[in-house]
Every structure is written in C-alpha cells, then in structure tokens.
Structure 1
Amino acid sequence: MKNGQITGELVSYGSQNPRRWLILLAVMLAFLPVVLDMTILHVAVPTLTQALGASNNHVLWVIDIYPLLMAGLLVPMGTLADKIGNRRILLTGLVIFGVASAAAAFAPTAEILIGTRVLLALGGSMIMPCVLGIIRRTFEDESERGLALGLWGTVGAAGAAVGPLIGGALLGHFWWGSVFLINVPVMLIVAPACWLLLPRQEQTTSGPWPIGQAFLLILGMIAVVYSAKTGFAGKHPLAVVLLTLTFGLAMLVLFARKQLNAATPMLDLSLFAHPAILAGIIMAVVASGALAGVELTLAQELQYVLDKTPLQAGIFMIPIMAAAAAGGPVAGWLSARYGLRPVASLSMIIAALSLGWLAVQDFHTPGLIVPVLLALLGLALSIGLTASSIAIMGAVDASKGGAAGSLEATGYELGTALGITLFGVFMSVIFGHNLSAPVDLPLHLADQAAVSMGDTYLVAQQLSDEKAAALITAGKAAFSTTHSVLLLTAAALIAGLAVLVFFLLAGVRKVANP
C-alpha cells in the first residue's frame, strides 16, 4: 500500500483488462434487481392493500421508504467504496439485498414489510454507486466508457420499466411476496460472478470514513421528506410539520458546513461546480420524480379504473420498457454526434409533450396513439437521463468515480422518493376533492373512502352490493380526473427541466463517438 493506493499483481481495472466486458455484464446484473424494486411494487399496490389490510399511508411508506433511505445512504456508501474498495462493498450489498428480499417476501404485516424494505435500501445503496464506480474505473477509454454507460442506462431504464410487467406476471400466478422472492436466485448467481470477476486489488483513497456526517445526511433527508408528506396530507399540526422541516434543513446545512470545512469530506461539494454534474443531478431528481409519480398512478388507473389484472397492466406498459431499452445505446451515439446539450434538452421536451398528450387520452379506448405516446415517453426519458450520466462520469477523474456515481444515484433515489411522496399526497388531495360519495354513506366511511382509490375499495367491502357499486363508480370517475391532472403536472415539470438543462449544459463538449 502506497500513498493510500493499493498496488498488486492481480488483475486491475483499466481499458486493457480483457475481462472488462464480462465485468460490465456482472455489475449490470447486480444493478438490475435494485432498479426492479423501484417499480415492481407499482402494480402490486391493489393486491398489497387487500392482502395486508394496508392503509394508504402504509402503502406510501412501503413504496417510499426504499428510495428515501437509499437517497440518504448512497453518498456515504459511495465514499466508503472509494476508501475500502468497490468490490468489498458491492459483495456485501448483494448479500444484504438477497437476505432482505427473502424476509420481505414473507412479511406478515405492512409494518414488518416496511422494515424489510429498510434492509433492501441498505443493500441497494451499497450496490448502486459501486456499479457506476466500477464502470468508470474499468473503462478508461472515453469511447468505450460511453458505450458501457449506454448499456448501463439501458439496464436501468428497461429494468425500471419492466418492473410492472414482471410484477404483474408474478401476481398472476403467485402471492404478492413473489415480487421480492424473485431477487434471491438472481443474487445467488450474481454474487459469485462478481466475486470471481472483480479485481481483488484496486485503487482507493486514504483517510477515515466520517460516519457521523452520514447520519446527518440521512436524518436531514428523512426529516425533510417526512415533513413534506405530513404537511401536504394535513393530518398533523402545522407547528409539528414546521418543526420537523426546520430540524431536517438544519441537519442538511450542518452536513454541508462539515463538507466545506473537513479535510476529508464525505461529499466533495466541488463536484457541483461542474455544470454537467449539476445538470445531471437536477435532471435525475425532477425526471425520476415525475416518472415515479406517473408510473404509480398509471398502474392504479389500469387496475382500479379499467379493471385490468396486474399482468394486463404490465403488458399495457410494455411500450415504455421496450422504448427505454433502446434509449441507452441511442443516447451514447446521439451525444457523440450532436452533443449532450441538444440531446438532453430535446429528449425532455419530447417527454413533456408525450405526458401532456397522454393526459387528454381516454385509456378505455387507447387505440394506437396511447402505446405510441408511452413509447415516446420511455425513449425520451431514457435518452435524456443516459446522456446526463455520460456527462457526469466524463466530468470527473477515475478516483472520484464512486463519489460522482453515488451523487447521481442519490438524485434518482431522492427524486423517486419525493415523486412518490408529493404525487401520492397530491393524488389523495385531488381524488378527495373529486369523489362524489353516495349521500347516505356514513361520514366516517366517506372520509376513509376519500383518502385513495384503495381505501374506496376497502370501504365498499363493508357496504351492500348496490351502495358498493355506486361508491366504486364514483371512485373510478374521481381517479380518472386525478390521473389526468397528475400527467399534466408532470409534463409541466419536465418542460421546465428541459429549459434549465439547455442553459446548464451550454459549455459541455461532445463526448468521443462510441
């Protein structure tokens, strides 16, 4: 060991490594279950609600706790990987993720399921930054790195998009826990492959790992998101919401001050000086947040309103995943030919137009236009976000690959958590305003039914057939209106993002043609 760097005779990272494409395959397979878990539960929401008797708040936390905790853990785990090695952290994360998946599959209550999702987030937060860090160190050649990141983007986009289809297929034949249990055999294959392929000695950075700073970041993020969730829901006193928000912001400010003053900061805030990195993180937060909210509500629209099975809902969303799978490699080629700025901006504009057009479509008679719009949405978002990844990873040295990768991944996870939180609460508010419950429905049942479409179905189970049918009909009408409003809101957010990215990427050069 010399100057904080490990040297040795074993295979090392580098573009001349003959195993580099096998390494890419291994880490992409390790990454796949992590992104699948972001969306695989979307089509399982109605089934989960009925099987566990989960409230709307329980369901939101089951889905939200995973990206929320990952958002707080990714930067600490990314910097830890830079210090002790990506291989060690990745293998540990794979084991934790596999064990947590098995535990989640057999969770008897919503509360225990939330706890197992915490463990899944811990494992996932170890896997994600290591994958990007390993790709950055393995592919030193810029053209090869562009291709590798394009393939990685394909796995990420397609994995997130295929989640509802896999979830629907599993729920069509097995119980809800199967959406978690499927991760176990994948980990049993991927973990040994990574153990064999990844170099045992790699370049690391010296210095201690400031665990206290990690806790500040995690506490701050959780408090801010929790205050947003409770504040918009309006179920807690304003003083409590403001106190929680103030505490969260104070923790984040203290974390930032420590980064600026520390000799060995956990997060190198100088990375934000790169316009490409700043643009990429903003894109990750806004786009992933809007997409998470759209996918969650679309899956519920298809099942609750159109009465589709989970499998049918997954099949309906195939255009998104098929187009997203093509977006990664296409982004690398387009970015090399035309530059990151026009590719990222134009792709976001196309995504916004697709969402706005979808908002005025009748999903009962989708025809050809709805599948085409879904495909455009998946392709545009995949191209834009992969182009962002290429810009971010090309803006840093290999030694900071893990930190930059974890920072980008934090943007995705934080965006997903905020998207589920804000869109979920916003959906509840809009749904409640538009629900016209039967006039003879008791007040306490009417209030419960107005929380969400899932609660409407739970209330309907307590009524006579005639009253239940009337309530469900009213709920379907209210949810369709809510879905249109959410699609228009997401379109506006992504349109604003396109303008912002256009200015932030003004000085970013083209990448080498992959």
Structure 2
Amino acid sequence: MLSEPTTGIVTDPAPRSLREAWVALAGLSAVFLFEMLDNSILNVALPTIGRELHASTTVLQWVTGAYAVVFGGLMLAFGALADRFGRRRIMLIGLVLLGVASLATAFVTTAEQLIAVRVAMGVAAAMTTPGSMALAFRLFADDGLRVRATTLISTVGLVGLAIGPTAGGFVLAIAPWQVLLLVNVPVAALAIIGVRFGIAADDPAGLHRDPVDVLGAVLGTATVVFALVAPTLFVNEGASAWAPWTATAAAVVAAVLFVVRERSVRYPLLDLKLVAHPLVSSGLAFKAAAGLATAGLGYLVTLQLQLDWGWPPALAAAGMLPQVVVLVAGGAFVSPFVRRVGLEHAAWISAAAVVAGLAVYGLFSRFGYPWVAIALVLVAAGMRVVGVVAGVNVLRGLPENRTTIGAALTDTATEVTSGAGIATTGTILAALFTGDIATTHWTVRQTAEFREAVTVAGLTLTIVAAALVAWGFVRSRRV
C-alpha cells in the first residue's frame, strides 16, 4: 500500500519513479528550457536587431537587461503569491503570458516595443521559473527522486543554454530574428500541457492564507532591481561615476527597509526566521558562491581569450567547451554522488570545488590555456552539483506552504551574486587597466596590467566565494 504524500500538492499517491511523472516533468523541463534558452539565443541576434531597428548600443543592452532586471526583481513577490494562491495557477498564468508576449514579437517595429516585450517575458519568467523547482520538489515524497527530478529539469535547461548561440546563428542565416523569440510559443504550449495535465491543482492544505505583504513585496523588488542595475552601471560607467554608487546606495537603503519591515510586520512576505534555518541559510550561501564564481569566471575568461591571447570569437567559444560539456554531461553523476555522500555533504563539497576552480584560475591562468580549462571544469562540476542539492536543501528546510518563495529566494541569490561577480571583475579591470580595453593592439604595459587585473580579480572572487562557502559549511553542521 502506497503512503499518502506529505507535500500537500496532490491527493493521489506520490510518484514512485520519474517515469510515472513524465508528463509533469516534461512541462517543468520546458519552463526551465525557456529561461536558459531565451537570453543565450537572443544575444546572437543583437547586431542584427540593432541594424534593423536602428537601436543604439545602450538600447540593445536593455533588450537583454530589461528582461533580467524584471525577472530577478519580481521572483520573490511571485513566489509569495504562488504559495498563497496556488503554484500551478500562477505557473499557468505566467506560461500564457509568455506565449502571448512571444507572439507579440512578430509585430515589433521599434526597439522600444521590443524592450516592452522583453519586460513582459521577464514577468512571465518570474511567475514560472521558481515554480518549476517548487513543483518538482513537491511532486515527490522522496529526497532521492527530488534530486533526480531537479537534475533532469536543469539538464534540459543547460542543453538549451549550450546550443542556444549555435542554433541562433543557424536560424539567423535562413530566417528573420523574430523567429528566435517566436520559438518560445511552442515551448510555452508544451509547458502548459505538461503542467495542466501532469500536476494536480494545489491542495488548500498546502497553501497558506496569510495576507499578502504588499509593502514588503515592493521593498524586496526594489532591493533586487537596484542590486541588479548597479553592477551594469559599474561596468559601463566606471567606479568614478555617480550613477552606480547611487544605485548601490538605493539597494542598501531598500534592503534595510525590507529587513525592518519583515521583522516587524505580522505577516511578512519572507519570514527571516525561516531564512536563518541552517539548511536554508547554508543552501543560499552555496548558491551565492556558485553564482558569483560562474559569472565572474565567464566574464574574465572571455576577455582573456579574445583580448589578451587574441583568439577569434569562434575559437574563444570553443575554449569554453570544457565548461559546457561538464554542465550538460555532469547531470548523470549528480544522483550517484549525492547517494554516496548525502545531501548536506554534497552541497559543501561541490561549493568547495567552485572555490578551488577560482583559485586555480587566479593563480595559474596566465601560464596557459590548460590551467584555464582546469578552472572551468572545476567550477562547472561544482556548480552542476550545488545547483541541484543546495536548492533541494533550501526547500527541505522550509515549511510546505513556503516552498515557492524558497525556490525564488535561491534563484534571486544566484541572480544578484552573478551581477556582483561581473561588477567586481569589471571594477578591478577598470581600476588597473589604463586606456581602452577594447583596442586592437595593447602595449606591453597594458598586457601586464590586464594580467595583473585578472589575477587580482580571480583571487578576490576566490576569497569572497570561500567566505560564503565557509559560512555555509558552519551553518550546515548545525543541521
């Protein structure tokens, strides 16, 4: 006799295998595929979009930036709404919005209209992406199946991330750029079918009935939005400009007000006592370290291969293949590794691998590509595991009626620290490198400055990531 599931999502017995839940997993995988495929496939088309829509470099930056800022800023708010009004319901509404916004691309004639479409798609992503992990977690009663389901979903997304640029290039050779966004329509349709018919409506017992903390949602959104905008401003305008510091100050003020609000209101958007749970706080620390490392390392390696070593773009893309291969193929090793060492140990061991990869890059990357490849492999391997197990641990540490905001919290931590990683590397490069970094021919002095900046930036990221992992490790030992 099967026991009733303890997740509160369905009244039928929990699936005993991934195969029994294949319809739901297909839909949830399509959701994650959209998130991973979207920006990677669109970046290839930015020069074409700029020519056809007569868009400046700044406007083109907002074609991708508007999506990221809206997506990151609204995840907490929609995560809280999903836990209050129904995870499947919010997911389906977001998928319909995604399909409609993607269809609107066919009628875009100006860059401003395209940015509006991207904003709508960012809202849709905020409504759907955290829910994909929360629903996958709640679909199963067994932690092993939860890990396998999350690994499967993330692998599908990472395949989309890997093939996105190449597929986008082929599409642009035979079709207009609008097709790259119209592909989201069938993806959304597949996700709607999978979620609608594979996942039962939420049991009211698995939802909470607390009033929505509107002011907390506004302050939380403002905090994340300013935190995501500030790194871009630091990279584009430099540390001497007033705009990045103003955005940073606004993020700090909004964060302080958010904490004060959440500590004082009776029904907070995010109960900070829950965040302090060892499983939750350690998982967030590990996810933050991975986000910081992956974004910072990717930014540095791209510049090093093309600007310092003079590799053409195609060869530089090939130079990133070790990371892509590990991210995609590494999914097969996540579950066996977790079974061998356990969820808690898997989280900190994989996070430590990320730190080790950063240290290798910071200390040895100037001695040749093999060291860069080793760094890419270590960071990718660590991120592949920690991306699954840290997220599962966060949800394990939360009440059943707060799982979606927990998933949103892990995604938000990754988004914010990814921006911080790029801002840190960009600021250090700007401080140590004299002249225009994009010039074709560097002087001997500029080459030495760049290599010094790479070492300083790599080791700075290593220290910060190591501090996050150490703190997460200490917290995880209290589980």
Contact 1:67 1:416 (8 Å CA) reproduced: no
Kept in 2, the 8 Å contact 1:150–1:386? The answer is yes
Other structure's SS at 1:40 match: helix
Aligned to 1:134: 135
Deviation at 1:75, TM superposition (A): 1.0
- TM superposition shift of 1:138: 0.9
Structure-to-structure mapping, 1:276-425, within 5 angstroms: 276-295=279-298, 306-308=311-313, 316-338=319-341, 339-340=345-346, 342-353=348-359, 355-356=361-362, 359-360=365-366, 374-420=376-422, 423=425
Pick which of 92-101 and 344-353 moved more: 344-353
Unaligned runs of 5+ residues in structure 2 are 1-6
Paired with 2:340 and 2:280, the residues of 1 have a C-alpha distance of 20
Check whether the contact 1:277–1:395 (CA below 8 A) recurs between aligned residues: yes
User: Does the C-alpha gap of structure 1 residues 507 and 425 become closer, same or farther in structure 2, counting only changes over 3 Å?
Assistant: closer
Cα gap change, 1:416 to 1:184, in 2 (>3 Å): farther
Which of 460, 466, 470 is residue 498 of structure 1 equivalent to?
A: 466
> What letter matches 1:97 in structure 2?
L
Residues 32, 201 of structure 1: CA spacing in aligned structure 2 closer, same or farther, 3 A cutoff? same
Tell me, in whole angstroms, the C-alpha distance in 1 between the residues paired with 2:272 and 2:180: 38
Task: Tell which deviates more after alignment, 314-323 or 190-199.
Answer: 314-323
Determine the structure 2 residue equivalent to 1:87: 88
Partner residue, 1:489 = 457
CA separation of 1:412/1:184 partners in 2, compared to 1, >3 Å: closer, same or farther? same
Q: State the alpha-carbon separation in 1 of the partners of residues 38 and 468 from structure 2.
A: 30
- Report whether the alignment pairs 1:155 with 2:185: no
Per the TM alignment, residue 277 of structure 1 is displaced from its structure 2 partner at its CA by 2.0
CA distance, structure 1, for counterparts of residue 55 and residue 424 of structure 2: 19
**What pairs up with 1:144-223 in 2 under 5 angstroms?**
144-202=145-203, 203-223=206-226
Residue number in structure 2 paired with 1:439:
none
Q: Would the alpha carbon gap of residues 301 and 350 (structure 1) be closer, same or farther in structure 2, given more than 3 Å must change?
A: closer
Letter in 2 for 1:123: A
Find the counterpart in structure 1 of residue 3 from structure 2. none
Deviations 1:86-139 (A, max 9, x none): 111111111222333344576544444333222121010111111121122111
Asked if structure 1 preserves the Cα contact closer than 8 Å seen for 2:230 and 2:245, the reply is yes
Change (3 A) 1:374 1:230: closer
Q: Which residue of 2 aligns with 1:443?
A: none
Change (3 A) 1:24 1:61: same
Task: Tell me the distance in 2 between the aligned counterparts of 1:105 and 1:319.
Answer: 36
Equivalent pair of 1:14/1:137 in contact (CA under 8 Å): no
CA separation of 1:64 and 1:294: change in aligned 2, threshold 3 A:
farther
Contact 1:64–1:417, Cα closer than 8 Å, also in 2: no
Q: Residue 80 of structure 1: CA displacement?
A: 0.7
Task: Tell me the distance in 1 between the aligned counterparts of 2:365 and 2:46.
Answer: 22
User: CA 1:168/1:488 → structure 2, altered by over 3 Å: closer, same or farther?
Assistant: farther
TM-score under structure 1 length normalisation = 0.76
Percent identity of the aligned residues?
25
1:151 deviates by: 2.5
> C-alpha distance in 1, partners of 2:164/2:451?
20
Query: What amino acid sits opposite 1:167 in the alignment?
Result: G
- The aligned amino acid for 2:89 is R
Q: CA deviation at 1:283?
A: 3.1
Q: 5+ residue gaps in structure 1?
A: 1-5, 436-449, 454-470
Indicate the larger mover: 402-411 or 180-189.
180-189
1:30 equivalent in structure 2: 31
C-alpha distance 166-82 of structure 1, shift in aligned 2 (>3 A): same
Structure 1 residue 423: Cα displacement:
4.7
Q: Partner of 2:79 in structure 1?
A: 78
| 2:258 paired residue number | 255
Q: CA deviation at 1:409?
A: 1.2
Please report the RMSD computed on the Cα atoms of aligned residues, expressed in angstroms. 4.0
Partner of 1:463: none
